[in-house]
Structure formats: C-alpha cells, structure tokens
Structure 1
C-alpha cells in the first residue's frame, strides 16, 4: 500500500488513526496490539500480481522473521550478563541469528542476481529462480540484525512480543525506512502520543502534505525525462545521447530520486507524528553537502548509521591506520551498494562512493599536512553535486538489471553509453532541436527549477523545527519567517499544496526505495 494512493489516504490512514484515538486511553497493550495489527494489514495488502488471488505468504514471512528474531533476541538478552564468550567474542546464537537473516535476504534478493550473472558470463543450464522480492525485506532485516547485536551486548530489555512486533512493523517506516533503533521507538510507544497529543495532528498533516507534493509534483515529472533518456541509452542499435542529453539524464534522475526519497521521508515522519511518534531523521538536504563525507551524513542517515556502527567500526574503522581505513571504507560502501539493489551496477555505484570517500579523507589529510585552505563553499557544493550525479548513472541503470527481462549487460551498456556522452566521447553537442529530442512534450531545462530549490530553500524539518518533527535535533533551524505555525495562513498554504497535488494525482507510482 503506497502513501500516495487513495486506498492509504482515504481508507487505511483514517481507520488506523481513528482506532488509535479510541483506544489510546485504554490499556497500553491494547493500543500496541491495534497499531501492530494495523501495520500488518498495511503490509499484507501488497500483492505482487494484482491479477492473481491475494496470498498470505508475505505476511507469514514478516511474522515468521519477527518471531524468530524475538526469541533469539530474548535469549541473548537474558544471558548477556553471565555469558562466557568464545575467543571470537560472538555468542554462537548471535552468529546463527545473523546468518539466518542474511540467508533469508540472500535467497529472495540475490539468488536471481547470481543466476543472471552466470547466464551473462556464458554459463548455461542455470535456471533463474522465480523469487519475488518481498517489500521492505532489506529494511526489516537490517533492523532486526541490529537488535540481535544489541541484545548480545546486553543493551536491550525483555520486551513483550507485541512491542517487538510493532517496533519492526510500524507502518510509516516499514517499507522504506528509516531503519529505526529499539531505544528510539519503545519508549515512545509506551507514551501513546504523550501529553497534548492533539497538537501532533496539524504538524503531522502539514509534513505529510509537503512530502506528497514532492513525490507527485516534482519527483514523478522528473522521472518522465530520466526514464526516456536512460531507455534511449540502453537500447541496442539506438543513437548515442548528446552531451547535453546525457547530463540532463543524470540531473533529471538526481532530482527524481532526491524528491522521491525526500518526499517518502517526509510522509513517513508526518504519518508517524499523527500517532505522536517521532522517527529519526533520514534525509537532510544532501545536495547542500560540501563534501562526500558530508553527503553521507545527510543522505539515508539511518542506513549510514547502521553501516558505521555494525559494519565499518567492527571491521576496524580508522583505528588501524590510513590504509586499513580506506580498505574498510571501500568494503563498507561496496556492501552498501549491494544492499541497495541486487545488481552489479549498484556495486559500481557503491564503489564510486567508496572511492569518493577515500579521496575526501585523503584531501583532508593533505589540507592538514600542508595547511591548505578549504574550497569556497559554493565550489565545494558544486563539485560534490557533480560527483553525486555521475555516481547516480549506474544506480539508475540498475533498473535494467532488476527487470525480470533485463540483464547485467543492459545495465552496463546504459551506464557506459551515458558516461561516454557525459565526458564528450561522442562530441560536445548540447540539447538537440525539438524535432530530434527524446522528450518532446517536456522542456528538459525545467529540471533546473527543483535543482535550484534544493540549494536555496530550507527543508521540511527546518520549516517545522520549532515543533521538533524528528528525534534528531537541529542546531541551525530555518529563518523565523519560514517557521511553520498552526495558523490560518499556513492552513491555506497546505490547502494550496493539496490542490496542486490533486491536479497531478492521475496515477500511482511506487517510491524508488520500495524495490530495495
């Protein structure tokens, strides 16, 4: 069930919220059970083949995963204080739990990748498995792995199963994050909205409306341009894109994924806030980043936190010298790329960002050693943005690899074609005449409008900063005249947003991170 669908907006959300309002003054357990059942209904509504009968197997998958991890986590938590660790320092049950979670993820997400890769390399007789990627499996798998590790460290409580089920399945963050931590969510569930709960309603609706606007009005139209140009680049025997078209494709997709993910993040924060719950910040104006290090502090922040705490630091982090740090950075980003999508172009994207991070850390070292000046902020932001746009090319091309009829060769061909055009190997021509354009119905230069908005406008969390929209606190809120207030002018502005959304709400499109 998509946030940008009539089913969610007009049926599910009013029912879930109405039931919560009726039950929040009753017993805590009843409220938690209601939200847990509502979240399972939200997840179970999904049917990968709308033409086929609905099947409960996907609901059984997440329930089975929760039961398995809850039982292991409870055992680990009970024995954490008196456990005698083996030489490796890792209890066998924890290793079993992590392997089981990664195996489940691997079967559904990566079995097809290896079969396609073998076929692309010339191997025959290897059948491609017919597994369907369950929604949100990448997110709830990482979330539960983190829980098991914390349980083994003695950092969890012995939660009731209904608490744990809600922690994993809470619908605003279930499908595409943020990857939440049990210490962030469990205390909030116990408060059931806290004192003055009614104040959360206008804040939640306002944030949700801005997110919906980003998705429907900005991200989806940008996708029209990006999809057509990438399809042209991937087509065998088709013409090569001009340099102008190649950069337009890269920037258009950069805008699409930015406002798609930013919109989803806002809608998740807004929907959770309706229930009095604050989610962790997951997206904080990443195109304003002055370096790649800064970019990863702003983009998919909870994933960056997970990779840092449960992968990069356990690998040794920066504690074993510069060479080992660079190796750990590269390994972390390669695995982060593979987490994003079951395709080798996603690994290439991760490798590019790993190389960027190594260069960034190397530059910091040189600056300190030779007392060099930092780049002017506009130059630093511009260089970072260009590097990110370049890296998005194989990421977007990964769609051709994820498609059931697609191949690794299709994705690599699209990446190679666009890179060649970007860097002038097919000439330095700008955008062609309208008669020869791939997109004749839209002016590609319109993508400059959202690009400029990324740099000059405050983000949603800054606009609502006085009401602390997320767990994360801001040190630099937006100017006072941008600060949202529950007043008539802001109510009218929200109505205007909804009218604009309604004029373009002609189809339902999935969020990009839903496929991960």
Structure 2
C-alpha cells in the first residue's frame, strides 16, 4: 500500500485515524494494541505472505530479550543479531553471494528467486539497535505490544527513518489527543503529509520521467549524448532526494497524526560543503546507525589513523551494500569511504578550503558517484560516463526545467520540517493546503504512481 495511492489516502488512513481517535478517547488502554494491528494490516496489504515473517521476527527477538533479562547470558544477544543478519542475507543477498561463489573455478551455486520482503533492512536494523543497547544496559525491558509497535509502526516500517528505541518508546505512554498542542501537532502532521506527497508527485515522479528513459537506453546499449547523460545524472540526483525526502515528510506527518514524533532524516544535504557534512544531512538516521553501531565497533578514530581510515571505508562500503545486493552498490559505498578518508587526511594535514569550492566538489562527487548507484552495472555506468565526457553522439539535447526547479528548492529553500513548523495558524494556509491536497489527488488519478525508490532497499 503506497502512501501516494487512493487506497491509502482515501481508505486506510481515514479509517485508521477514526479508530485511533475513538479508542484514544474511550478506551485508551487499547491504543497501542490497535496501532500494532493497524501496522501489521498495513504491512500485510502489500504481500500477506511476508506478514508472518515480520510477526515471527518481532516475537523471536522479544523472547530473546526476555531470556537475556532473566538469565543475563551475554551470548544470547550476539546470537540473535547474527540470526537477524542471516535472515536478511538469505532474502536480500543470497543471489549476490551465489554470484560471488561462482567466481571460484568449479563452483556452480544456483540462484534462489524470492521476492524481497518490504522493509526487511529497516526492521532488521531496529532489532539490532535495541538488542545492542539492551546488552550494554542502556535499554529497558518492554512488553510484546510495545516492542512490536517499535518495530512495525506503519509510517516507518517500510523505508524508515531508522528510529532508536529511546526516541519513540516513551511517546507510546502519552495521551496524544489530550496534549495542549494536540490540534497544532495534528494540523502540522497533515501539512507534512501534503508537502511530502507534492514533492513525490510533482518533483520526484516528474524527474523519474526525465531519467528513466535515458538509463533504459544505456542499459540497452544505445548511444548517450552529452546532454542526455547530464540530464540523467542531474535528474536522478534530484529525483532520489525528492522521492526519499518526500517519503520521509509523509512518514513524519503520518506519525504526528497518531501522536508520535519521528526523527528528521534530511537537512538540506545539497548545501553540504564536505562529504562528512553531507552524510550528517543525508539519510541522517542511517548515518548515525552506521557511525554508532558499525564504525565505532570497528575501532573508529580511537586506534590510530590507519585503522580509522580502514574502518571508515569498510563502514561506507557496507552501507553501500545495504542499499542493494550488487557490486555497483558496494563500489558506490566504497567510493564514499575513500572520499571521506581523503577528507580526514586533508584535515589532519591542517589544510583548508573555501566553502564554495567545498560545496562544488562535494556536490559533483555525489552526482558522479550516484551514476554507479543508479546504473545497476558497471557497463551501463561506463556508457553514462562516456556521455558525460562528450564521447557520445553530437549535440546537446537536455531537458532542464524540472531539474532547475529541483535544484532551486533543494539548495536554496528551507527544509519541509522548518517551513511547516514556522507557519502561523491562519485559515488561508489551511485552505491552501487543502487545495494542494486536492490537486495532488487529481495528479495521482491522472498519472501512473511510481513506487518509492527506497522500498527496494
């Protein structure tokens, strides 16, 4: 069930909100079980066969946490984390590992063609965060309903943001509609939802029409001109931003409607002046997860420069592989690891750089490496790079209007969260957002809906 679909916007969401309001008002003790049932129902709509996987995943990890709290056996947590990663590897990386094995002479590993369960990377990482902190003595015990809701809460179960238990669990105990600012939070949640929808429908999907035909031509082996190559490269750069940040806005807005504040995931990343700054602004919750649960575990900056650079490169490479089971994703992450390592050496040498030059280099680096991410194979990426350098057909045919609009909004304008929380409570603003929502619905009805890019991760 897509957030940008009629069945969700005009069916599931209104019914869910009505049920939530009735329960919160008359049977508040039923609120959390209701939210859990709604979340499992939402997840089941896409493919009911994967709902048992999510339910069993929640139950088994909760039972492990219970056993650990009772027995204190440290080995239980590493075993549970290993089991979670093994399940992720089977569903997401089995064929990738088979291809790696087939590189060995004499080995013939077969593929296992199975659909990737939506959100498996995200809810696996949620398990890991909680179990790791539980072992460290930072996380408390929670009952099955609360733990299940932490893992499966429907606004964030499919594509994040990655939410730490400490950021959300205490909010489950509140009476959200009894708060003094309940109406304001609900209104801002609606506005975030509408803004996210608009970003996805009017910008992300429009840019997809700019980029998809070009990459399809490159994949088919066709020639790519210089203008087309830059249209594809820049178009996807802004498409992936508006697609994913639009989803995040919707997730944050939906959570607010049900009384939950989720962490922000984007902070104007295309204004970053260094790679380190970029990853503090882009997919912020994943960046924090990789830093706190992988980079530091590998040694971080505590054990010398050589190990720091190795840990940084390995962390980013694994972060790239998390995005997809393919060599191009691994290479994309490794490139960012190498880029950040160069930045570390630059800072260690005491060198500086003008902010405008740092921004230009950071943005250009991201655009060029993102081609590897998008292409799906090194051959396709090679054709795109040849086009960028002018080794394709003559001429410079490029669609630029949507790219220019995307660049202006993402680089100059404030974030959606900032805008929504600064808007005053005016009637004309409410009317404007209602009108925008109606226009979005008409747009959804006229055009084919694209899935969110990060659903495949």
TM tier, smaller:
over 0.9
SS in structure 2 at match of 1:25: helix
Q: Distance in 1 between matches of 2:244 and 2:344?
A: 27
- From the superposition, tell whether residues 263 and 122 of structure 1 become closer, same or farther in structure 2 (CA, over 3 Å): farther
Structure 2 unaligned blocks of 5 or more: none
Runs of 4+ in 1 over 4 A off after TM superposition: 116-125, 427-430
**Can you list the C-alpha shifts for 1:222-248, whole angstroms capped at 9, x where unaligned?**
011111111111213x22x12222222
- From the superposition, tell whether residues 289 and 429 of structure 1 become closer, same or farther in structure 2 (CA, over 3 Å): farther
1:487 to 407, 426, 431: 426
Q: Distance in 1 between matches of 2:308 and 2:297?
A: 12
Partner of 2:179: 195
1:67 to 32, 45, 59: 59
**Can you list the C-alpha shifts for 1:329-355, whole angstroms capped at 9, x where unaligned?**
000011101111111100011011111
1:183 to 152, 156, 166: 166
| Pairing of 1:338-377 with structure 2 (within 5 A) | 338-366=321-349, 368=350, 372-375=351-354, 377=355
Contact 2:50 2:117 in 1 (8 A): yes
| Pairing of 1:171-250 with structure 2 (within 5 A) | 171-193=154-176, 195-196=179-180, 197-236=182-221, 238-239=222-223, 241-250=224-233
Please report how far the alpha carbon of residue 122 of structure 1 lies from its aligned counterpart in structure 2 after TM superposition: 8.6
Q: Distance in 2 between matches of 1:297 and 1:423?
A: 31
Contact 1:286 1:298 in 2 (8 A): yes
Contact 2:68 2:76 in 1 (8 A): yes
Partner of 2:17: 17
| Pairing of 1:393-408 with structure 2 (within 5 A) | 393-398=371-376
Q: Distance in 1 between matches of 2:211 and 2:135?
A: 45
1:256 to 230, 239, 253: 239
Contact 2:197 2:246 in 1 (8 A): yes
TM-score by length of 1: 0.84
2:379 to 413, 421, 426: 413
Partner of 1:299: 282
Structure 1 unaligned blocks of 5 or more: 48-55, 84-90, 399-410, 438-442, 466-482
Contact 2:133 2:139 in 1 (8 A): yes
Contact 2:77 2:132 in 1 (8 A): yes
Moved more, 314-323 or 504-513: 504-513
- From the superposition, tell whether residues 382 and 489 of structure 1 become closer, same or farther in structure 2 (CA, over 3 Å): farther
Partner of 2:38: 38
Partner of 2:311: 328
SS in structure 2 at match of 1:110: helix
Q: Distance in 2 between matches of 1:360 and 1:163?
A: 42
SS in structure 2 at match of 1:130: coil
Please report how far the alpha carbon of residue 79 of structure 1 lies from its aligned counterpart in structure 2 after TM superposition: 4.7
SS in structure 2 at match of 1:280: coil
SS in structure 1 at match of 2:265: coil
**Can you list the C-alpha shifts for 1:395-434, whole angstroms capped at 9, x where unaligned?**
1113xxxxxxxxxxxx12111111222234x1695524xx
TM-score by length of 2: 0.94
| Pairing of 1:151-190 with structure 2 (within 5 A) | 151-190=134-173
SS in structure 1 at match of 2:3: coil
**Can you list the C-alpha shifts for 1:119-158, whole angstroms capped at 9, x where unaligned?**
6889785331022100000000011011111111122222
Partner of 1:478: none
**Can you list the C-alpha shifts for 1:489-509, whole angstroms capped at 9, x where unaligned?**
211331342244234212222
- From the superposition, tell whether residues 380 and 43 of structure 1 become closer, same or farther in structure 2 (CA, over 3 Å): same
**Can you list the C-alpha shifts for 1:166-189, whole angstroms capped at 9, x where unaligned?**
111000000000111111111101
Partner of 1:422: 388
- From the superposition, tell whether residues 265 and 190 of structure 1 become closer, same or farther in structure 2 (CA, over 3 Å): same
Count of residues in Structure 1 that have an aligned counterpart in Structure 2: 453
SS in structure 2 at match of 1:464: helix
SS in structure 1 at match of 2:137: coil
1:511 to 445, 452, 455: 452
Contact 2:203 2:402 in 1 (8 A): no
SS in structure 1 at match of 2:363: helix
- From the superposition, tell whether residues 227 and 117 of structure 1 become closer, same or farther in structure 2 (CA, over 3 Å): farther
Contact 1:76 1:148 in 2 (8 A): no
Greater helix content: 2
**Can you list the C-alpha shifts for 1:277-330, whole angstroms capped at 9, x where unaligned?**
100111111111111101100111111111111110011100111111110000
Q: Distance in 1 between matches of 2:24 and 2:43?
A: 22
Please report how far the alpha carbon of residue 117 of structure 1 lies from its aligned counterpart in structure 2 after TM superposition: 5.0
Contact 1:4 1:508 in 2 (8 A): yes
SS in structure 2 at match of 1:251: helix
Q: Does 1:384 align with 2:362?
A: yes
